[in-house]
Each structure stands twice: as C-alpha cells, then as structure tokens.
Amino acid sequence: GLLRSDGAMLAAMFAAVAVYYLLPGLAFAIIGAALFFALALLKPYLTPAPIVASMSLFFRPREIGHYLFPLAEFLILASVAAWVLRDAYELARRPGGLAALPTIALDALRRPFVWAAAGFLVAGLLSLVLPHPTHRAEALREFRWTIVEPLLFFALLVRYVRTEVDMFRILNAFLIAAALNAQVGVDQYLFGDTW
C-alpha cells in the first residue's frame, strides 16, 4: 500500500514538515515533529530530501514561544535520531549484533570523503580553544551550526545515498530549495527589501 511507496512516504514527510513549520502554536509544532519522526523511523533513507529542500529557509526559523528553531537543524537532528534508533534496534535483534559494530565502523571509514569529514571535525574542535572564555557560548553555537550539524547531514548522506535513485531524489530536493531561494530573492527585489 501507501506505506511501501517511497513517493507517498516522501509526500507525507513534506506534509509533516509543513505542519511543523507553517502552522502556528506549540501543538502543531509537536504534531508535525512527531509525524516527521515516525515517518523517518519507517523510511530513514528518505530523510535527506526534506533536509536539502529546507536549507533555503535557514534564516526563517520556526518560532516556538521565545525560541527560534531553524528548520534544517530540526530535520537533521530528528533524522539522525531516527537513524540511530532504527539501526540500534536492528543491531540488537541480530544474533551477536554488538560484535558486528567494528565491521560496520570499518565499512563506514572506507566510504568516500569520510576522512576529510573527520579532519573537518578535528579542525573545528581545535577552533574551540581560540575564543576568549567570555565568547565560549557563541563559539559553541557556531560550532554546532557550522561543524556538527553539517557533519551529521554528511553522515546521513553517507548512510543513505547509495543508488542513482537516491541521488536524483536529493538533486530534485536541491532544485526545490533553489526555486524557493530564487522566489525569496525576487520578492526582495520587487518589494524593495534589498539593494
């Protein structure tokens, strides 16, 4: 049925994101977040597409009370949580599952660009010693936004983008994000919000 169709599940994920992001109030944010997380548990390999599509909305975060949550940040964290829970559950069900962890780790290290990502993380960690202690909070926030979350997204791509279909799904999501970004630029130009 519909649960087996990737297209229907992807549409449901985008609908859950719309509920989370567009509808006002904490209740809709919780409902949308819970729906997206449940769908991500069912089909985690579809989660990179909504993340890519949401990236152009980074400067338009979801407001909940006095707090602001960038959409891509929420989607990355929810997707990684669903991935970890699902893989941990499958590993626990497998006979001798924990013994397979070293093999899984070695396979991950053989994927393209993983060592570059590890170097990026090390450089980011080293950068945390440079700021004055009075600016540590800002440095940690920037570290989360510019190092940790992009690396988590990279890990999702390494884990789930393996076939041509997966790549085209990501490319289509990128085109959606580019169209949204272009629309914002046109609006700003037409209504005098920018030079």
Examine the pLDDT at 195 and tell me if it is beyond 60: no
Task: Give the model's confidence band at 12: pLDDT under 50 very low, under 70 low, under 90 confident, else very high.
Answer: very high
R_g over Cα of the chain: 19
Helix (H) or strand (E) holding 68: strand 67-69
Look up residue 3 and give its two tokens: 């649960």
CB of 10 within 8 A of CB of 46?
A: yes
| Residues 87-129 pLDDT 10s | 888 888 877 766 767 777 777 777 788 888 888 899 888 888 8
Q: What is the pLDDT of residue 169?
A: 93
* Confidence check: pLDDT of 2 > 70: no
> Where does the pLDDT of residue 17 fall: very low under 50, low under 70, confident under 90, or very high at 90 and above?
very high
Beta bridge partners of 64: 67
Structure tokens at 20: 């989370």
Per-residue pLDDT band for 193 (boundaries 50, 70, 90) equals: low
Cα–Cα distance, 10 to 104 (Å, whole number): 27
Whether residue 120 contacts residue 148, with contact meaning beta carbons closer than 8 Å, is answered with no
Tokens of 55: 């990236």
Position 60 scores a pLDDT of 85
State what percent of residues in the chain have pLDDT above 70. Answer: 95
Mean pLDDT of 184-195: 76
